[in-house]
Structure 1
Amino acid sequence: MKLESRLQALRGLMAERNYDALIIPRADEHLGEYIPEHNERLRWVSGFTGSAGMVIVLSGQAAIFVDGRYTVQVRQQVPSDLFQYHHLRDEPPLEWLAQSQAAGTRVAVDPRLHNLQWYRQAQTLLGAAGISLCPDTDNLVDHCWLDRPAPKVEPALLLDESYSGESSSSKRHRIGETLVQSAADAALIFAPDSVSWLLNVRGRDVPCMPVLQSRALLWSDGSLDLFVHPGRVPEGMNSHCGADVRVHPADAADTFLTELGGKRVLADPVTANAWSQLLLEQGGASLVPAADPVLLPKACKNPVEIAGARAAHIRDAVAVINFLVWLDAEQSAGRRHDEATLADQLLAMRSSGRHFQGGSFDTISAAGSNAAMCHYNHNNTVPATLPDNSVYLVDSGGQYIDGTTDITRTVAIGDPGADIRHMFTLVLKGHIALDQARFPKGTTGTHLDVLARQFLWSEGFDYDHGTGHGVGVFLSVHEGPQSISKAWSGVPLQPGMILSNEPGYYRDGAFGIRCENLVTVVEVPGPLETPMYGFDVLTLVPFDRRLLDVSLLTADEIRWLDDYHRLVADTLTPLLEGPEGAWLERATQPLA
């Protein structure tokens, strides 16, 4: 069915149900970043494959809203004769609706696909304009999507305590004690990665994200009711989790939530969907709005998890270096591969590593001007061949049983020229400044973000994405609540958190640059008058010295780069032989 026919089918069903508008987010019932194929509703209606966006279908027009990462991509994928293009932040969809539609307009929305905070805001903002928000869990897209794929259902993986570092029982009782302090009887644990961490299980049904598609109710005594498809429950689940974990079919959750009258249930208005919380209210439960109580404990990794992450990053570095050695050899031989071949080659090299479970996200394999789209995906177009005298940006990662990796390296192809070297060096200077940061307890990522941007800002440049995101351990590669961004974060950085350090620069139609390592927050050794935290690097792959304008680097920055490359060489030399070992020796030679 063509996009025009899909819109016509939706409009026909909208007319039958007396709706004037339909909101379709890039989300599913679990509100996760990675969505199973059968829930890619926004892609089905628009053709857009980005990781964030929203479509609003009206009786006579349609509009798509994306953020700055996708302003180029959306015009390539979504036909302008069917959709208007809008910026998700500069022209918020709800404000656009309120300003463009008349009073009396009826707007259909599936409350399972939005969090409660958004839902309340929509009610308020649209209501003030005389527009009705109409909840409808009988999803209109699902009725029109006639060839919708069947859901993937596989048994989950039980994660041994030698990888998790703490039993499920210990985690549940530890967090249950915080519920007592909040005067809550229970907490709605909605995010699949929170449920997975809490139970020490990992799922196999969502691309790149090993989470168990489920939701749960954690009680203050540490017991838990889990709602999950029976086909996802592996053999041995009861003995693995403990007798105080009660397993129910996924479709029993709605009824269960309506039978908690009189209970005080903590629920996160940001991470839990509106529908679950509306059911709790309808059943007479009192909502205690608060952050998911699993988020912060999950973000602060224990020593076993940090050790696992380090081990995973060493294996991952070997795979990435093997790839870079192969790429240099292919360039020297005059062979120019396309983006898809390069991504496949990197995946194959990772796949041979111990504990490898798959990619942690779709590899961004971007040649030349495609790298200007910071979330480019070669699978959405005809893969480009590496151009002469430019750069290749490869942002990739792996899921391992003991850790999750995410690394970006920008690679010289031929002679990129002085302009690209200048911009690469500005980006790397920002990366170095953030890596060297020392900060007191209570500092958030927002306080530190300017460190990574300062050298670009000084010359009138910037980048339209965050500088750092949290990363899980064999879980989500984009984990909260920690982040480093211009957008305000009230969450202080704490020891054990893993974050990315990834400033970049993107020139539309020309090239893109990003320098990304993962780091963990650590206590800086004292004695110090004011105790300080800092970052300790996990990623161990050389930066491409061919892209440096050394004249822009200070002596301290050169010392940082030499020290980093010495650490890479000392760690990986015993693991690399022959051409790979020789390449590593050259790539890590000191500048000073």
Structure 2
Amino acid sequence: MSVIADRLSAVRVLMRERGYDALIIPRADEYLGEYLPEHNERMLWVSGFTGSAGAIVVLAESAAIFVDGRYTVQVRNEVDPDLFAYHHLIDEPPIAWLCAALPAGSSVACDPRLHTLAWFRQSGAALASADLELAADSDNLIDRCWDDRPEPRVSPAVLLGEDYTGASSVQKRGNIAEAIVAKGADAALIFAPDSVSWLLNVRGTDIPCLPILQSFALLRADGKCTVFVDAGRLPEGLKEHIGPGVEFLPESEAEASLLACRGQRVLADPNSANAWTQLCLERGGAELVAAEDPVLMPKASKNDVEIEGARQAHLRDAVAEVRFLHWLDEEVAAGNMHDEATLADKLGSLREEGEHYRGPSFDTISAAGGNAAMCHYNHQNVEQPGSLSENSVYLVDSGGQYTDGTTDITRTVAIGDPGAEIRRMFTLVLKGHIALDQARFPRGTTGSQLDVLARQFLWREGCDFDHGTGHGVGAYLSVHEGPQRIAKAHNPFPLQPGMILSNEPGYYRDNEYGIRCENLVVVQPVSEDTETPMLGFEALTMVPFDRRLIDVALMTAEELAWLNDYHQQVHAAIAPRLEGAVLDWLNNATAAIAA
């Protein structure tokens, strides 16, 4: 048997011992973050799937894997079809599938630390309607079977000064405490590690790409705070840095502390905090007040210091990106068709030369040819990285973590002459990018109301892309930050000044090519003297789009004016930082295009 088959067999033995007919394994850990430390990659361990989202259901004799549209190609390349059936995570969700697959009276196990309370209750009700039981088991079955599970990485957090954060931890805790009082609560569960990190003005180093302090906290209405965190993550000078009123306890004491909240009204977000913490609060006699994480919106709406930091980080990032694109053109012209790993390493090395650089904000998507059709392709997860080929395109989606900001950019690059079809599709994608960038909208507008602007030109041609158009981005925090989002799916959170988002429409043709045009933008007031005050987007990313991929005949005069104006902004911002052949390349790349 294969290694994966052996692991599934071990899990099934334990399932039988505990009386479970099914086990749900999400791609998540107890902090419910997107990026997982190696020791929490349970879904990868049991299946071999390297994607960043999905779920697995193990039954007594079979198993199924559920992924969204970003991974429909990748999952078939990585997961054995003899061991797993493939399903679409959105079109056929695991709970609905289980209701149809299991006989009445069956027991479905899950680890309540790996799911939100909302999921736990909704799934329990859905299963119950089919006479199935959802069993909460925090003694994780995968962990029990994972004999060579890596040890967690534990290292001291980084202290971030007010010259980067724009406000002290004492100020932030005071403001959030006022919000707790306004909700009529005695305390709030600050569950997300990036919320805790923002609140305390600290960053972590234990998870690649995600600089969060792995922890959660209880913030009380008087501003006092209890943080549950491994003591090894607490650096010297932390208490002086964050100010009075904060105590630190090991996570092993969290259950007792949560159970001790009897009689208190505790604000908790059922959609983002895990079920285990909230079930503990309820079991101890606390009253849960369902409300969004009170840190969520203040963290998402960056202050002036954070916005200026983002601008500066993007300028340094753009220098690295432009130097890379110049080098790439030179190498292709010389006939050096490098592989994806070499390309990613080169871009990474150029970023490392920038001031305040702290590492990548995610694994670089360095995708040549047909590999770019997989939205979240990772060359590190294949036996042989692809190489550039003539008359094709290369897609590179990458970003950096800087002490003053987080970046994320995608550029699609012509390798030789990709042909008329690819130029047409690239232009349709770029037109959508421009339409969204130019949007003007009143306060109260959500990202879901704007999403169609980026898709309209593809839709006219009967095409689409199966991912969101824009995600929120943190301030030296998660490159995928909520609650702001631009996507088809309804999002109730309005876009507010200071929110940073991506603008990244794309198009993908399986096994042939992929296209994406991505900038980061910040929401800003654009007009206060109109009848209705309006908001719009300010571009943070300052890197030219590949003019060789544009079919000018498909562009309107207004769109060409936008592109020429953007390229002038890029040149003005970046040219003073460059010299020699790289500057010559930028001059050419940003030259105006005639209508």
TM normalised by structure 2 equals: 0.99
SS of structure 2 residue aligned to 1:107: strand
Matches within 5 A, 1:274-285: 274-285=275-286
Partner Cα separation in structure 1 for residue 145 and residue 124 of structure 2? 26
Q: Which residue of 2 aligns with 1:514?
A: 516
Q: Which residue of 2 aligns with 1:346?
A: 347
Q: Which residue of 1 aligns with 2:185?
A: 184
Q: Which residue of 2 aligns with 1:271?
A: 272
Q: Which residue of 1 aligns with 2:12?
A: 11
- Report the Cα offset of residue 249 of structure 1: 1.1
- Report the Cα offset of residue 387 of structure 1: 1.3
The answer on 1:495 being equivalent to 2:482 is no
Q: Which residue of 1 aligns with 2:466?
A: 464
Q: Which residue of 1 aligns with 2:131?
A: 130
Partner Cα separation in structure 2 for residue 77 and residue 314 of structure 1? 37
Q: Which residue of 2 aligns with 1:556?
A: 558
Q: Which residue of 2 aligns with 1:69?
A: 70
- Report the Cα offset of residue 122 of structure 1: 1.3
- Could you tell me which of 443, 446, 449 is aligned with 2:448? 446
Q: Which residue of 2 aligns with 1:389?
A: 391
Q: Which residue of 2 aligns with 1:208?
A: 209
Structure 1: which amino acid aligns with 2:60? S
- Report the Cα offset of residue 403 of structure 1: 0.1
SS of structure 1 residue aligned to 2:461: coil
Q: Which residue of 2 aligns with 1:528?
A: 530
The answer on 1:140 being equivalent to 2:145 is no
Partner Cα separation in structure 1 for residue 441 and residue 105 of structure 2? 53
Q: Which residue of 2 aligns with 1:380?
A: 381
- Report the Cα offset of residue 472 of structure 1: 0.3
The runs of at least 4 consecutive aligned structure 1 residues that moved more than 2 Å come to none
- Report the Cα offset of residue 502 of structure 1: 0.3
Structure 2: which amino acid aligns with 1:170? Q
- Report the Cα offset of residue 520 of structure 1: 0.3
SS of structure 1 residue aligned to 2:261: coil
- Report the Cα offset of residue 106 of structure 1: 1.1
SS of structure 1 residue aligned to 2:52: coil
- Report the Cα offset of residue 260 of structure 1: 0.3
Q: Which residue of 2 aligns with 1:426?
A: 428
Structure 2: which amino acid aligns with 1:345? K
Partner Cα separation in structure 1 for residue 206 and residue 263 of structure 2? 36
SS of structure 1 residue aligned to 2:527: coil
The answer on 1:411 being equivalent to 2:413 is yes
Matches within 5 A, 1:103-118: 103-118=104-119
Structure 2: which amino acid aligns with 1:507? R
Structure 2: which amino acid aligns with 1:5? D
Q: Which residue of 1 aligns with 2:40?
A: 39
Structure 2: which amino acid aligns with 1:448? L
Structure 2: which amino acid aligns with 1:495? P
Structure 2: which amino acid aligns with 1:540? M
Q: Which residue of 1 aligns with 2:198?
A: 197
Partner Cα separation in structure 2 for residue 134 and residue 521 of structure 1? 44
Partner Cα separation in structure 2 for residue 139 and residue 101 of structure 1? 22
Partner Cα separation in structure 1 for residue 12 and residue 587 of structure 2? 62
Structure 2: which amino acid aligns with 1:452? A
- Could you tell me which of 541, 547, 568 is aligned with 1:539? 541
SS of structure 2 residue aligned to 1:524: strand
- Report the Cα offset of residue 529 of structure 1: 1.1
Partner Cα separation in structure 2 for residue 306 and residue 18 of structure 1? 53
Q: Which residue of 2 aligns with 1:27?
A: 28
Q: Which residue of 1 aligns with 2:482?
A: 480
Q: Which residue of 2 aligns with 1:324?
A: 325
- Report the Cα offset of residue 104 of structure 1: 1.1
Q: Which residue of 2 aligns with 1:121?
A: 122
SS of structure 2 residue aligned to 1:24: strand
Matches within 5 A, 1:208-287: 208-287=209-288
Partner Cα separation in structure 1 for residue 503 and residue 222 of structure 2? 39
- Report the Cα offset of residue 194 of structure 1: 0.3
Structure 1: which amino acid aligns with 2:111? D
Partner Cα separation in structure 2 for residue 577 and residue 323 of structure 1? 14
- Report the Cα offset of residue 206 of structure 1: 1.0
- Report the Cα offset of residue 526 of structure 1: 3.8
Q: Deviations over 1:88-131 (max 9, x none)?
A: 01101001001110011111110000000100011101111111
Q: Deviations over 1:365-423 (max 9, x none)?
A: 00001101111111111200111100000000000000000000000001000000000
Partner Cα separation in structure 1 for residue 89 and residue 558 of structure 2? 40
Partner Cα separation in structure 2 for residue 53 and residue 437 of structure 1? 33
SS of structure 2 residue aligned to 1:466: coil
Structure 2: which amino acid aligns with 1:74? V
The answer on 1:166 being equivalent to 2:134 is no
TM normalised by structure 1 equals: 0.99
Partner Cα separation in structure 2 for residue 165 and residue 384 of structure 1? 44
The answer on 1:85 being equivalent to 2:81 is no
SS of structure 2 residue aligned to 1:147: coil
**Percent identity of the aligned residues?**
66
Structure 1: which amino acid aligns with 2:459? W
Structure 2: which amino acid aligns with 1:322? R
Partner Cα separation in structure 1 for residue 355 and residue 407 of structure 2? 14
Partner Cα separation in structure 1 for residue 180 and residue 477 of structure 2? 24
RMSD in angstroms over aligned alpha carbons?
Answer: 0.7
For structure 2, which runs of at least 5 residues remain unmatched after alignment? none
For structure 1, which runs of at least 5 residues remain unmatched after alignment? none
Partner Cα separation in structure 1 for residue 68 and residue 551 of structure 2? 32
SS of structure 2 residue aligned to 1:563: helix
Structure 1: which amino acid aligns with 2:185? A
- Report the Cα offset of residue 71 of structure 1: 0.5
Count the aligned residue pairs.
592
Q: Deviations over 1:541-591 (max 9, x none)?
A: 000000000011100000000000000001111100011100000000001
Partner Cα separation in structure 2 for residue 11 and residue 248 of structure 1? 36
The answer on 1:398 being equivalent to 2:419 is no
Partner Cα separation in structure 1 for residue 320 and residue 256 of structure 2? 48
SS of structure 2 residue aligned to 1:247: strand
Partner Cα separation in structure 2 for residue 526 and residue 16 of structure 1? 66
Structure 2: which amino acid aligns with 1:547? L
- Report the Cα offset of residue 525 of structure 1: 3.2
Q: Which residue of 2 aligns with 1:293?
A: 294
Partner Cα separation in structure 2 for residue 573 and residue 18 of structure 1? 66
Q: Deviations over 1:511-550 (max 9, x none)?
A: 1000000000000134211100000000000000000000
Q: Deviations over 1:347-366 (max 9, x none)?
A: 00001110000000010000
Structure 2: which amino acid aligns with 1:39? N
